Amino acid sequence: MSRHIRLVLGAILSAGLLIVPATALADHGTNPHTPNMHALGHSPHPATFLGEPDGVRHISSDIAFRGRLAFHGNYDGFRVIDIADPDNPQEILHQRCNGDQGDIFVSGDILVRSWNSKKTMPRLCDGQTVPAGWEGVHVFDISNLADPALVASVSLPCGSHTLTGAGVSQGRLIIYSNNSSSAGCVDGTRALDDPVGDFMDVIAVPVNDPAAASLIHREPLAGPTTDVRTGCHDAGAILGSVNKVVCASADTINVFDIGANSTPGGSPEDPVLLFTITEPGVGQAGTNGRWHSSVFTWDGKVIAAGWEPGGGADTECQTADPAVDKSMFFYDATTGAKLGQWTLPRGQDGVGENCTIHNYNIVPLRSGRYVAVGGHYQAGTWVTEFTDPANPVTVGWSDPPVIAPPDLGGAWSSYWYNNFIYESSITEGLNVFRLSDSTTGGALRLGHLNPQTQEFSLP
């Protein structure tokens, strides 16, 4: 979710135009869908994006998984949900932390949460005061799930929009914090409008002393070539024998080396830039969009990337819209050469249907198939096979009904985890699906998953 949406929200608030609809529980089984997408359980977290003031807003954002638990971020903290029974997920607790956007990363008994933007009034996080003007990341000890404890706050001058883990190095959990390049954000004396000052923050969290978390490095980003500020909006890391990070940054994707592989030189603490990728029509001057998210296939050979035209608030997936505005793009992860693209085939033509290729992951398959599962706002959840990136195929989808304008909503993110699909519905909570299709047969089961971090690679 971009700065553009925050500007839209401010304009609507000042005009007194907000309509607060009655919130109903989700029934995602009634959504239009392909026959192979089966709606299962739902954990309710009803909210409205444009129906609540900033200090009250608690819409759902991203998800991480550990065992039979889902950690579901939101604008007012995070929920811990027992997903042992996919037909009946149960909320264990809601830890309050009153700042957007609640992107989270979980490793063992450590949870790190993003705080994206400065607030004009003090807020609370786990009962502790967050001063006005603060932004950065909070670190929690979640060894006691009945009472997670805030143990560290790492202030970042440009806040933290999203988080990506890069494994443990020298006893420290390495986290990349990605900012959204808000106006007025400064790095010392340089504004983010100055491309020389743009960066990805590297945070170290000592595994045995998470209270000592700190900012250890700022990695500069290449670009932009247009008037769009960069800022690594989101990043995907793959470890194992690949050890790379791909950063989705305005009109310029940055690909970094972060460890032992065929291009030595990088480390988790100090990435080395390998190359950049641009795409005609993506994040160009005069548009309000930017590269939004990017991941690797599990063999590390292909990058899948999506962008956010219109800043995420606009209707960019209508039938008449150009294909570039509603596509996922595929690139060679060694050279950056374009391999193909998948274009959303179902027009989102309802009034005000905000839509973008938002957050997704790749199904872990030893078969060599490439299958993406993604959440695309009001286009819902889609499953796409791109084993042949030049000829991608839609496998299945579930498309929610239109939300009454002027509110926004839909699937913030949708991820494959241990044979089920988990959808973070912005205004409804957590939805669970089962896909019955041979395309994903033999998918690996994982002990945990942070969707932006692939902790191993597959041959």
* Bridge partners for 124 per DSSP: 129
What's the CATH number where 447 sits?
A: 2.130.10
Residue 15 lies in a domain: yes
Residue 202 lies in a domain: no
DSSP state string for 167-221: EEETTEEEEEEE----TT-EETTEETTSGGG-EEEEEEEETT-GGG-EEEEEEE-
The token duo for 221 is 């980003």
Residue 19 lies in a domain: yes
In this structure, the number of other CB atoms found within 10 A of the CB of residue 186 comes to 13
Full pLDDT tens readout for the chain, 459 residues: 554 444 444 443 333 333 333 334 568 999 999 999 999 999 999 998 877 777 788 999 999 999 999 999 999 999 999 999 999 999 999 999 999 999 999 999 999 999 988 889 999 999 999 999 999 999 999 999 999 999 999 999 888 999 999 999 999 999 999 986 554 465 444 444 454 447 899 999 999 999 999 999 999 888 765 555 557 889 999 999 999 999 998 888 999 999 988 887 899 999 999 999 999 999 876 666 889 999 999 999 999 999 988 777 888 899 999 999 999 999 999 999 999 999 999 999 999 899 999 999 999 999 999 999 999 999 999 999 999 999 999 999 999 999 988 888 999 999 999 999 999 999 999 999 999 999 999 999 999 999 999 999 998
Check: pTM over 0.95? Answer yes or no: no
pLDDT of residue 83: 98
pLDDT of residue 181: 57
Residue 238 lies in a domain: yes
Print the domain residue range for 21: 3-91+223-454
Tokens 């029974």 belong to residue? 85
Those residues with Cβ within 8 angstroms of residue 246's Cβ, 6 or more apart along the chain or in another chain:
235, 236, 253, 254, 255, 256, 294, 295, 296, 303, 305, 333
pLDDT of residue 37: 98
pLDDT of residue 261: 86
pLDDT of residue 50: 79
Residue 197 lies in a domain: no
Helix (H) or strand (E) holding 411: strand 411-417
Residue 136 lies in a domain: no
pLDDT of residue 186: 53
Tally of structural domains, the chain: 1
Residue 175 lies in a domain: no
- Rounded distance between C-alpha atoms, residue 60 and residue 167, angstroms: 26
Distance of CA 138 to the CA centre of its chain: 17
The token duo for 350 is 């309802």
Q: How many CA atoms lie within 13 A of 183 on its CB side?
A: 4
Those residues with Cβ within 8 angstroms of residue 152's Cβ, 6 or more apart along the chain or in another chain:
138, 139, 205, 210, 211, 212, 213
Residue 279 lies in a domain: yes
In the 3-class helix/strand/coil scheme, how is 289-316 assigned residue by residue? CCEEEEEECCCCCEEEEEECHHHHCCEC
